[in-house]
Amino acid sequence: MLNGPSIKSPLKDWDIMIDINLRGLMYVTKASLPHLSEAVKESPCRVVDAVNISSVAGRFAAAQVAIYNATKFAVTAATEAWRQEFTRQSIRFSVIEPGATATGLWDAKGQWEGFKAMFGDVERLHAEDIAEAVSFIITSPRRVAINEIVVRPTDQP
């Protein structure tokens, strides 16, 4: 999340966000697809899950967040496309879009200070909150596909 004025942002920062948020997702998904297809055959409930993590930044665009927004929009879009492509093969693709979460992500270039200036000092989500959403998705009965979950801190606008 290397955000800031686009005119001042080095392309290197843009490449880093694209490499991590988009290429990382693509490479992991490509490598996992054969394993997911095989796992369906052995699954007691005849379904397997791929859960991707995007961001609420993948739902709306904001000034000075263009590339991060673009990569997170791409995560959500790719997940939906894969959901459609693999649903008949019993591979459920889901995306979770967390709001402000207590991670090291906020340490980069004073990101938390910029967030607080826009939204106030909200109590951030914990990793366990996102893990509960993942658990909800993967423990749902075969007949239920949870396509998308947005999780925000209570006080985040």
Catalytic site residues? Answer: 68
The C-alpha angle 2, 112, 132, rounded to 5 degrees, equals 95
DSSP 66: H
- Are 75 and 51 within 8 A, CB to CB? no
Token couple for 153: 């801190």
Q: Which residues pair with 151 in a beta bridge?
A: 98
Q: Is 68 exposed, middle or buried (0-12, 13-18, 19+ CB in 10 A)?
A: buried
Alpha helix segments (H runs only) across the chain:
11-17, 24-42, 66-86, 111-119, 127-138
Residue matched to tokens 């955000």: 3
